[in-house]
Amino acid sequence: MSSPAENAPGCPFGHGAEAPAGHHGYEPFQMKDPFPAYAEMRAEQPLMFDERINYYVATRYDDIKAVFDDWETFSSENAQAPVRERGEAAKKIMLDGGFTAYSGLSARVPPEHTRMRAIVQKAFTPRRYKALEPAIRENVVTRLETMLARPGRDGDMVRDLAYDIPTITILTLIGADTSKIDTYKRWSDSRAAMTWGNLSDEEQVPHAHNLVEYWQECLHLVGAAKESGGDNLTADLVRAQAEGAGISDHEIASVLYSLLFAGHETTTTLISNCVRVLLAHPAQWGQVVADPKKIPAAIDEILRYSGSIVGWRRKALRDTTVGGVDIPQGAGLLLLMGSANRDEARFEDGEAFDISRPNAREHLSFGFGIHYCLGNMLAKLQAKIALEEIVRLAPTLQLVAPESITFRENLSFRVPETVPVTWES
């Protein structure tokens, strides 16, 4: 007998379409305010098959954490798979362009994942983070002072701060050209749209060209490191390979393909959300301004309350059960961490934002288990530096028209397009 996952039709939703009755208000590609739907799903149908996207959708903390922790049953092999199948035109562009990129780590499975993560993890050293910190702080201060010098006292914390900082940081870390921020952002936007978006065949075409360019750049960076060396993560991986580490050129390039996306896009969103959420709660913003030592705890609560990634995917390798629901072999699961992080079975009064929450660090925004985010410390470091300098230089910052903030449409990432602010002179 075929499973629901095998028979489900292609997804007709996205681009502003509303969920029909029976889906508890959940609209897979809509990120404006998914949390009421998440709460209803947790209460009414915590493990739901959504035929529009062909995934079982999990919403409760314990279920999602258990799936993340059981890699032998729930494979990560579909984590980077396109949500919508690529059209023939996009496929041809990518084939002709030599696009063979694969996930760095997040979609790989043991033993391949175990081998590669052990090698890559050695390049993510505290020494590298410490070396980056002064430049991160200098870049933050420069951009904030430029914004605050604007006579109209209006700014956008995405455009004026969060857009550049993590991109410069990750480009520096891997030894790429820091003058190409807009190019890398364009490539990253295309990767997000092609992997987690709901594009028509025609809409995919320009993004396919961008992905070819993106992959060729990753191959070029590996070649440059082999030829010239350097003091960066790419050169570290190339040296490790030369000393006998079991990692190929293609695998190093694939690691870069992942880092050049994950290493800045989610951190841009984290910094944006730190400002957006704190300013939306003036009393707690005031606490952070009065005592910047509260910033690390505030960041963990922001990651819980409004994480950059609200959904991630797994594939069932055998017939199994999640939350009392039978899951057939081969079925895809969408794990809504954005829902799990507000589950009141784990977080008391989970819909409330509270920077003094004692267990905020138990959030699942960085995943859990063997695929726990390798760059979590670097992301939190950049958010911490950004908030420290914002409360020092702009303590009177205020959010403008929060209700008008829009979020990009996709399945997994909750990305504010703008965070408009003003301040007192």
Q: In this predicted model, what pLDDT tens digit does every residue of 43-55 receive, in sequence order?
A: 999 999 999 999 9
Q: Tokens for 161? A: 């701060």
Pure H helices in 45-111 = 61-69, 88-96
Residue 105: predicted pLDDT: 87
Taking the C-alpha atoms of residue 252 and residue 326, their distance in angstroms, rounded to an integer, is 38
For the chain, which residues score pLDDT lower than 70? Answer: 1-21
Residue 9: predicted pLDDT: 32
Do residues 277 and 353 lie in contact, with contact meaning Cβ atoms separated by under 8 Å?
yes
Sign of CA dihedral 169, 170, 172, 177: negative
Residue 1: predicted pLDDT: 30
pTM of the model: 0.90
Sheet holding 332-335, edge to edge: 47-50, 55-58, 332-335, 312-316, 74-75
Taking the C-alpha atoms of residue 177 and residue 170, their distance in angstroms, rounded to an integer, is 10
Residue 106: predicted pLDDT: 87
N residues, the chain: 425
AA letter at 158: V
Query: Roughly how many angstroms between the first and final C-alpha of the chain, as a whole number?
Result: 69
Residue 127: predicted pLDDT: 82
CB atoms inside a 10 Å sphere around CB 150: 11
Of 373, 145, 369, residue with least CA distance to 261: 373
HSE value, Cβ hemisphere, 13 Å, CA-based, for 300: 14
